[in-house]
Amino acid sequence: MKDTQNQTQVQNFGEPFFMIIREDETLSSIKERIQKKLKVPDEDFSKWKFAYISLGRPDYFEDPDTVATRFQRNMYGAWEQYLGLEHPDTAPRKAHTVNQNRHSFERPVKIYN
């Protein structure tokens, strides 16, 4: 998710999750909760960067920043705003099958009752 000039879009990976962020909560307190939830070692976690992502563009936070002030409640497409965690993708790569190419996506299983 590296973007120093906000000119490129971010590449998301991993599993998203929901987290309550209080109105006056700083990034440093949120980072503690995220590290605990994800069980990331201090050495690795210290290299992570955190950004407010809106419409695919990052705006990086500093530890004393109040995170909730960046999010707009009445913004159209509010789901396009989220807290992004910049870190290396350490998940093993999946081999592409014959019917897949690198631009295809896995589809969810639908269960009809």
Q: What are the boundaries of each domain within the chain?
A: 1-113
CA 30 to chain CA centroid, Å, is 13
CATH level 3 topology of 1-113:
Ubiquitin-like (UB roll) (3.10.20)
Is the pLDDT score of 2 beyond 80?
A: no
| Three-state DSSP class for residue 95 | coil
As a whole number of angstroms, the distance between CA 87 and CA 50 comes to: 9
Residue 83: φ, ψ to 5°: -90, 115
**Which span out of 10-24, 36-50, 54-68, 83-97 was modeled with the highest average pLDDT?**
36-50
pTM: 0.67
